[in-house]
Amino acid sequence: MLLIPCPWCGPREDDEFTFGGEADIPRPADPDALTDEQWADYLFMRDNRRGRHREQWCHTAGCRRWFIVERDTVTNEILGASTYGNSS
Amino acid sequence: MQFYSLPNLIRRGLRGHRDWTPAWRKAEPKPSYDVVIVGAGGHGLATAYYLAKLHGVTNVAVLERGWLGGGNIGRNTAIVRSNYLWDASAHIYEFSLKLWEGLSQELNYNVMFSQRGLLNIGHSEQEMRDLARRVGANQLNGIDAELLSTHEVSKLVPILNTSPHTRYPVLGGTLQRRGGVARHDAVAWGYARAADALGVDIVENCEVTGIRTANGRVTSLETTRGEIRAGAVGLVVAGNASVLASMAGIRLPIQSHPLQALVTEPLKPVFDPVVMSSAVHVYIHQTDRGELVLGAGIDAPVSYDLNGNFRIIEHVLAAVCELFPIFSRVRMLRQWAGTVDVCPDASPIISGTPIKGLFMNCGWGTGGFKATPGSGWVFAHTLAHQEPHPLNEPFSLDRFTTGALIDEHGAAAVAH
Ligand SMILES: Cc1cc2nc3c(=O)[nH]c(=O)nc-3n(C[C@H](O)[C@H](O)[C@H](O)COP(=O)(O)OP(=O)(O)OC[C@H]3O[C@@H](n4cnc5c(N)ncnc54)[C@H](O)[C@@H]3O)c2cc1C
Ligand SMILES: [Zn+2]
């Protein structure tokens, strides 16, 4: 079980949350200009890192807001949480 | 290789079983090989065996970071079947199932393949329609598949709660009679022994830490036991596929997740087939020793953690008690997890890469055990000819660019 630190509600058990995958994958600004390779990279390719990982979580059964968590994917240690565009 | 047979057993038995030799050598790494396979799991060892056996490529090493069979090959729940929806998958999994049917003889090693049948149950009208569609697709591909009514399901597995008043009413199911289970460790050991006998070096405690290239071609691997030159390299590292690919600057459409399983204390034999329910995320079978093996879906977050989240256990046990009230007081003996490499379309990648001589066999996710023989067979072909076999051509890395995905979530997501 993980204890997820929601920036608004504080630490809560992980079954209140939905995992939203790797963070920092911005939607393409000009989709029409993308090559197939760039689309594939945006849609499917992931770093899938062993170790420090920035990822998105939504507090589905709480404040229902999305935010970013940094977690070690080997030890599951939570290294920090932040709201979008505002690290903590 | 010492041949395993009844006369040999008796002969050696009379000599007190003192002259059996280890099933494979503990090889030291040589400076250079024609082909280096990274990962001594089922798929890596099978690849090495078929390279030596069918393609005459014997200057081969299998490098393993830990111990042979310590990865997912030794952690899975051993289910074997071929009832996938799309042609590409049906062909490769059925090819594999046919190899399973002769594998113990082929390897002279008892992999305890037991075709006890595999039952998928459905709990809603829509699920029954999807199952019927899959049975139709399977039959068109020559794969044995039957659609069962609730009554037929109940006759097959009388201990399943098929009363209409349950939380998960059983509306019917599908049966693949040729499906079943195999002894997963024996598969790794059998392929290792047979590959070793053909000259393959299996090098344990040898972690690959870097991939060197020159002019767009792979030249050597950096390992914890020194640099090893290679004509061709096959990465077959399951949950660590992205980590290895990133050493060569390649990004993969893979996310790694823990997948857990549990086993109970042994009971008297109470049911024959493997029973799976995709809707309630649980599957169960009884081993030859009588234990119940239970499994479920993956832990949602990306993780390389080998504990697994307790919520999955709670969920599995709740579902099992609903479906099989008779098991409500059975005690659990062990729980464990493996790191599975999940692709967006729940299908594997058996493919070349942008780097010449570097090949990948990964993305099998929660369901690669059943494919071990076939996967090794086609990957050996791919490495020997430096191009895919028709069976693995659709499973290329560039399908994520062309869009030709092979979406097997219906057949593979929870059911392994
Ligand atoms: C709990 C669980 C249940 C499952 N149930 C089923 C099932 O019922 N049916 C089914 O078909 N499939 C099932 N699977 C999936 C199946 O186990 C895998 O798809 C399959 O075993 C993966 O291939 P493999 O055997 O080659 O992997 P592995 O055995 O994991 O082999 C990969 C090897 O690579 C090694 N390695 C990693 N990094 C390095 C490195 N840097 N250098 C050297 N070596 C390295 C690892 O140590 C490992 O030994 C299950 C998996 C799990 C975890
Ligand atoms: Zn919150």
Q: What is the ipTM of this complex?
A: 0.95
Report the gap between the CA of B302 and the closest CA in chain A (Å).
Answer: 7
Atom 9 in ligand 1: which residue has the minimum CA distance?
B79
- Residues composing chain B: 416
Predicted confidence at residue B359, as pLDDT, reads 98
Check if B184 has its Cβ closer than 6 Å to any atom of ligand 1: no
Give the distance (Å) from ligand 1 centre to CA of residue B112: 19
Predicted confidence at residue A86, as pLDDT, reads 55
pLDDT 10s per residue in chain B (416 long)? 889 999 999 999 999 999 899 999 999 999 999 999 999 999 999 999 999 999 999 999 999 999 999 999 999 999 999 999 999 999 999 999 999 999 999 999 999 999 999 999 999 999 999 999 999 999 999 999 999 999 999 999 999 999 989 889 999 999 999 999 999 999 999 999 999 999 999 999 999 999 999 999 999 999 999 999 999 999 999 999 999 999 999 999 999 999 999 999 999 999 999 999 988 889 999 999 999 999 988 999 999 999 999 999 999 999 999 999 999 999 999 999 999 999 999 999 999 999 999 999 999 999 999 999 999 999 999 999 999 999 999 999 999 999 999 999 988 766 67
Task: Please tell me whether residue A13 adopts helix, strand or coil conformation.
Answer: strand
Predicted confidence at residue B413, as pLDDT, reads 62
Give the distance (Å) from ligand 2 centre to CA of residue A82: 12
> In this complex, which of B243, B251, B253 lies closest to A50 when CB atoms are compared?
B243
Nearest atom within ligand 1 for CA of residue B365: 19
Q: For B308, list phi and psi in degrees, rounded to 5.
A: 90, 155
Give the distance (Å) from ligand 1 centre to CA of residue B324: 29
Crossing angle of helices B184-197 and B42-55, rounded to 10°: 30
Check if B82 has its Cβ closer than 6 Å to any atom of ligand 1: no
Q: Residues B279-314, buried b or exposed e (16+ Cβ, 10 A)?
A: ebbbbbbbbeeebbbbbbbbbbbbbbbeebbeebbe
Predicted confidence at residue B67, as pLDDT, reads 97
User: CA nearest B275: which of B415, B111, B113, B78?
Assistant: B415
Q: 3-state DSSP: chain A helix, strand, coil percent, rounded to 5?
A: 15, 40, 45
In chain A, domain spans: 1-26+49-88
d(CA A71, CA B383): 37
A interface toward B at CB cutoff 8 Å? 1-2, 14-15, 18-19, 21-22, 36-37, 39-41, 43-50, 53, 55, 71, 73-76
Predicted confidence at residue A11, as pLDDT, reads 97
Give the distance (Å) from ligand 2 centre to CA of residue B127: 35
pLDDT 10s per residue in chain A (88 long)? 899 999 999 999 999 999 999 999 999 999 999 999 999 999 999 999 999 999 999 999 999 999 999 999 999 999 999 999 754 4
Check if B369 has its Cβ closer than 6 Å to any atom of ligand 1: yes
Reported as a single tens digit per residue, the pLDDT across B209-258 is 999 999 999 999 999 999 999 999 999 999 999 999 999 999 999 999 99
**Does the predicted TM-score (pTM) go above 0.95?**
yes
The answer to whether the CB atoms of B305 and A14 lie below 8 A apart is no
Predicted confidence at residue B386, as pLDDT, reads 96
Domain A1-26+49-88 has CATH 3.30.2270.10: yes
For B313, the closest chain A residue by CA position comes to A1
| CA within 13 Å, CB half, B145 | 23
Beta strands B60-63 and B32-38, pairing class: parallel
Check if B76 has its Cβ closer than 6 Å to any atom of ligand 1: yes
> In this complex, which of B253, B302, B311 lies closest to A73 when CB atoms are compared?
B302
Structure tokens at B387: 């191009």
Cβ count within 10 A of residue B342: 23
Report the gap between the CA of B141 and the closest CA in chain A (Å).
Answer: 30
Q: What is the number of CB-based contacts under 8 A between chain A and chain B?
A: 71
Check if B374 has its Cβ closer than 6 Å to any atom of ligand 1: no
- Residues composing chain A: 88
Reported as a single tens digit per residue, the pLDDT across B282-337 is 999 999 999 999 998 899 999 999 999 999 999 999 999 999 999 999 999 999 99
